[in-house]
Amino acid sequence: MKRFRAAFISLAVLTNIGIGVVAAVAQTNQVEPAKRCTTESLKGSFAFQGQGFLGRVPLAFVGVLHFDGKGKFSGRHEESIGGNYGPSVEAGDYSVSDDCMGITHWTDHPPHTGLPPHNHTIVFNIHSGGDGGWFLGIDNSPPGQFHKEIPEPDIEFWGTLKRL
C-alpha cells in the first residue's frame, strides 16, 4: 500500500509540474504583432481592384484611391454591375488600428446604375510595410431602404490594394 501511495503522490506531483511548465511555455510563446500601424501607415495613392455581388448580380471594379495619412481619402473607379458599365467617385474617412486592421466609410452613387447612394463600410488590412492590403466591403443600408427588390445585404465585395 505504501508503494501505491508513493507512486500516486509522485504521479500527482509530476502532473502538477507538467501543467505548470505547459502554462509557463504558453505564456512565453504568445505572438506579438510584428509591426504596429496607425492611420499614417496608409498614405499615398493606391490602385485597387475587386469583385462581388449586387444582390445576385456580379460586379467588378478597378480604380485609384488617395489616402492622406490623417484619416481622409478620395478616389474614383470604373465598375461593371451585371454588364452595366460606368464610373463612380468616392470620398470618406478611414482609421487604422495598431494591429494593421482598418475600417472606412463612404457613400457613392454611380449614375450609370440609376440607384440611390450606397453607404459602404469596408474593413481592410495593411501589409508589406504599408504598400498593400486586402479589403472586404458590404453595403450597410437598412433592409429595404434603397432596394426593395433586392434582399439585404445589397452589396458584398472584396479585393486588393497596391501602392502606386
Alpha-carbon torsion (133, 68, 107, 62), positive or negative: negative
In angstroms, the CA 140 to CA 155 distance is: 8
Rounded mean pLDDT, 66-81: 93
Grid coordinates given for 1: 500500500
What global pTM score does this model have? Answer: 0.70
pLDDT at 8 (0 to 100): 46
pLDDT at 97 (0 to 100): 95
- The span from the first CA to the last CA of the chain, in angstroms, equals 78
Between 35 and 71, where is the model more confident?
71
pLDDT at 126 (0 to 100): 94
Which residue matches cell numbers 447612394?
117
pLDDT in tens, 9-63: 554 544 555 555 555 555 556 656 556 899 999 999 999 999 998 777 899 999 9
39-163: in CATH 2.40.160.20: yes
pLDDT > 90: percent of the chain: 40
Domain ranges for the chain, please list them: 1-30, 39-163
